[in-house]
Amino acid sequence: MTNAYSRFLSALFCLFLGGLLVWHVLLPDRARSEVENRTLAQRPEFSWSALADGSYTAAVEEYFADQFPLRDQWTGLKARTEQVIGKREFNGVYLCGDTLISKVEAPDPALLEKNLSYVRRLFEKADAHVYLGLIPSAAEVWEEKLPADAPSWDQAELSRMASELEIPLVDLQSDLAAHADEPIFYRTDHHWTSLGAFYGANALLEALGKELLSMEDFTPEIASGDFNGTLYSQSGVHWLTPDTLEFWVEDTGLSVISWRTGEPELGSLYDRAYLEKKDKYSAFLGGNQPLCVIKNGAVTDGSKILLVRDSYSDSLAPFLSQRFSEVHLLDLRYYRLPAAQYAAENGIADIAVLYSVPNFITDKNLVFLAQ
């Protein structure tokens, strides 16, 4: 390689970098990435103290990374290039043919013991019947789809530990495993599909001694055929066929009350505005909220259930509303009052602590169960 050619390549590279810098400066900053479904870093404010402690330079680095021109396209290209050279794990997500499955890391043993103890304390202090339901993720139910020798924590270990609490358990593992050959999880998202939620609802109803739901009673509505979920965003794998999102339960005859700001407001079983957004799963009940209550006037036995839950219950609750006069959903990330007290004040006889395994082993808000 001649010196002239080397200088030419160096000049071309510098021109390329300079062009990206100018492009970055001229482009307006984006507040959010719809592909990644998250808020992007904004231009940090300079201060001498921030410069001295290193926080300013770290913020600048994050800002330039988030606001990089064509970031979404570069992320997808990076994942595609890595796939070509044989990589099968992308930012903690396994590519399993036409399906993305999130890797489950081994939990912190101390946090896991604490979370189980908090459920036990709720069981001991609540006047209601308390059940624990642990929803295995696709990495457990679809383990055979994972790449050969792909590490992922054995989620059955949590069920074995939970069985020692002497608390009634909802056997979601067996029910989902029995239908592992069906599309019970999304291919681009970590949640279960409406079909998976149907089987999950029946597992809970069976544990409670309630009449099971019949699939023949539902006519699934295709709400969207263009759903790209959280694993699509996290992995950068953007070439898979989008998921189909379905609504099974008709919302006629049901009333939904949400407490998003501390005050009750009229909600809905399905917030169809989300179907026009990236976060389509939030169409179920309108997404995350401290407290939500679904009432079904057609169920006249006065039965009520409280779900202490994560986002998996957003698509589960519509099914439960067919067997309970009231379904209360409480999210410990936003609701801080004692769950046992809430159940007592609202005449609720059954409490189900219902979490996906990856959330249960990492959530630090379960401490509020012990209040």
Q: Note whether 210 and 352 are within 8 A (CB).
A: no
pLDDT of residue 88: 76
Model pLDDT for residues 152-186, shown as the tens digit of each residue: 999 999 999 999 989 999 999 999 999 999 999 99
- Indicate whether 22 and 143 sit together in one domain: no
- Indicate whether 275 and 351 sit together in one domain: yes
Alpha carbon 173 to chain centroid distance? 18
CB count, 10 Å around CB of 260? 16
Q: Note whether 115 and 363 are within 8 A (CB).
A: yes
Q: Note whether 308 and 352 are within 8 A (CB).
A: yes
- Indicate whether 58 and 184 sit together in one domain: no
Full-model pTM: 0.82
Structural domain that includes position 23: 3-70
Output the six-digit token pair for 363: 């959530």
- Indicate whether 219 and 315 sit together in one domain: yes
Average pLDDT, the chain: 87
76 domain residue, yes or no: no
pLDDT of residue 54: 72
Nearest to residue 227, comparing CAs of 265, 291, 183? 183
pLDDT of residue 371: 85
- Indicate whether 214 and 305 sit together in one domain: yes
Among 70, 87, 107, residue at a domain's last position: 70
What is the arrangement of strands in the sheet containing 99-102, beginning at the earlier edge strand?
89-90, 93-96, 99-102
Alpha carbon 274 to chain centroid distance? 15
Q: Note whether 175 and 161 are within 8 A (CB).
A: no
- Indicate whether 106 and 61 sit together in one domain: no
pLDDT of residue 190: 96
- Indicate whether 194 and 232 sit together in one domain: yes
- Indicate whether 174 and 50 sit together in one domain: no
- Indicate whether 255 and 106 sit together in one domain: yes
Residue 287 DSSP class: S
80 domain residue, yes or no: no
Q: How many angstroms separate the CA atoms of 23 and 39, rounded?
A: 21
Q: Note whether 18 and 27 are within 8 A (CB).
A: no
- Indicate whether 147 and 108 sit together in one domain: yes
pLDDT of residue 3: 65
Helix (H) or strand (E) holding 207: helix 194-208
- Indicate whether 33 and 122 sit together in one domain: no
pLDDT tens string, the chain, 371 residues long: the values are 566 656 655 665 566 555 545 545 555 666 655 555 556 667 777 777 766 777 667 766 666 565 555 555 556 555 556 655 657 778 899 999 999 999 999 999 999 999 999 999 999 999 999 999 999 999 999 999 999 888 899 999 999 999 998 999 999 999 999 999 999 999 999 999 999 999 999 999 999 999 999 999 999 999 999 999 999 988 888 989 999 999 999 999 999 999 998 899 999 999 999 999 989 999 999 999 999 999 999 999 999 999 999 999 999 999 999 999 999 999 999 998 899 999 999 999 999 999 999 999 999 999 999 88
94 domain residue, yes or no: no
Residues 6+ apart with CB under 8 A from 87: none
89 domain residue, yes or no: no
Q: How many angstroms separate the CA atoms of 38 and 95, rounded?
A: 22
pLDDT of residue 108: 95
- Indicate whether 104 and 65 sit together in one domain: no
**Domain total of the chain:** 2
